[in-house]
Structure 1
Amino acid sequence: MKTREKSIGLTKDVGWQFGLRKTFSYSQEYLWDFMFSDKGLEIWLGKLNERLEIKKTYKTKEGIEGLVRVFTPYSHIRMNWKKKSWDNMSTVQVRVTGNQKKATISFHQEKLLDDTQREEMKIYWNEKMKEIEKRLAIEN
């Protein structure tokens, strides 16, 4: 009998993916407002020249670029996302869910090339989440 090993992060439909979530003791509204403030955006996306708009391209000063596909305030944003050094375009979804007492920030990235790129993004998003946590602690 043959068994097939399943690689962590590999899906049939969207290739390699990575997801990360963390729950905070802040309301959903507060976390959303922080994540989409200039300070918050600069942490997880980068410094933007223009505001994010649905169906519009964006590019950060750090070289991350893409297109905003879905933007539902106080829920989620879904966008094409490409690092400056990459040839491929991935998809990133940032979601804020919760209530008035606590809420969760989640990052989900799909259409990654391989397990190496997945590992790169695992490190990247974990660092971003730590930066968010530090900034929230400073501001409160």
Structure 2
Amino acid sequence: MPMEQTSEVTAETEGKTVVVSRTLKQPIKVVWDVLMTDEGAEALLGPGAKLGAKGQSWRAQNGREGVIRSFHPMEQIRFSYRSKAAVTPSMVAVNLKPSGDDATEIEIRHSKLGPDIEREWALDRWSGALERIESACL
């Protein structure tokens, strides 16, 4: 019998940080494996972008770019995130942790938001990324 897919979504904004999280009814390995696909990378970084190892640059077709700052399999990916208009990059951390027996909490924390990034846009952007990741986990 297939496992029913449900999620719990939370979002918060404080100062120059936006945090969006979701609990997926999948083990960490399944969620991590999805993040490592083209679909998972594009959900996080944008169209055409690829996740790489720590120190590698990435660039999406929409002009957003950055550098992978931290890469800890099945725990965390952290990367800088900059639009064409941004003077300085912001930081995005994707954190995974177990939630019960076969569930995973995935949290996206976008910090150091500059004046070029609206909080509402960031909430929508990362909520959409979590929706795409959850759909790919089915």
Query: Where on the TM-score scale, by shorter chain, does this alignment land: which range?
Result: 0.7 to 0.9
Q: Using a 3 Å threshold, how does the CA distance of structure 1 residues 103 and 36 change in structure 2: closer, same or farther?
A: same
* SS of residue paired to 1:41: helix
Matched position secondary structure for 2:69: strand
Corresponding residue SS for 1:112:
coil
Residue 116 of structure 1, CA deviation:
6.2
The match for 1:60 is: 60
Larger Rg: 1
- What is the Cα deviation at residue 32 of structure 1? 0.8
In structure 2, runs of 5+ residues without a counterpart are 1-12
Indicate conservation of the 8 Å contact 1:48/1:58, yes or no: no
Whichever residue aligns with residue 65 of structure 2, its letter is E
Aligned length: 125
Where 1:106 maps in the other structure, the secondary structure is strand
1:9 pairs with 2:14: yes
For 1:1-140, list aligned pairs within 5 A: 9-10=14-15, 16-48=16-48, 51-98=51-98, 101-114=102-115, 117-136=118-137, 140=138
Match of 1:3 in 2: none
Note closer, same or farther for the CA distance 1:119–1:88 as it changes in structure 2 (3 Å cut).
farther
Residue 51 of structure 1: CA displacement?
A: 4.8
Separation in 2 of the partners of 1:101 and 1:52?
Answer: 27
Whether the aligned pair in 2 keeps the contact of 1:9 and 1:118 (CA below 8 Å) is no
Structure 1: distance between partners of 2:86 and 2:50? 22
| Letter of the structure 2 residue corresponding to residue 60 of structure 1 | A
Query: C-alpha separation between the residues in 2 aligned to 1:47 and 1:119?
Result: 21
| Matched letter for residue 31 of structure 1 | V
Distance 1:106 1:115, change over 3 A: same
CA distance in 2, matches of 1:70, 1:49: 17
When residues 55 and 17 of structure 1 are mapped into structure 2, their CA distance, relative to the original with a 3 A threshold, is: same
Counterpart AA for 2:130 = M
Percent same amino acid at aligned positions? 23
Gaps of 5+ in 1: 1-7, 11-15
Q: For residues 25 and 121 of structure 1, do their structure 2 counterparts lie closer, same or farther at Cα, with a shift above 3 Å needed?
A: same
Distance 1:30 1:101 in 2: 10
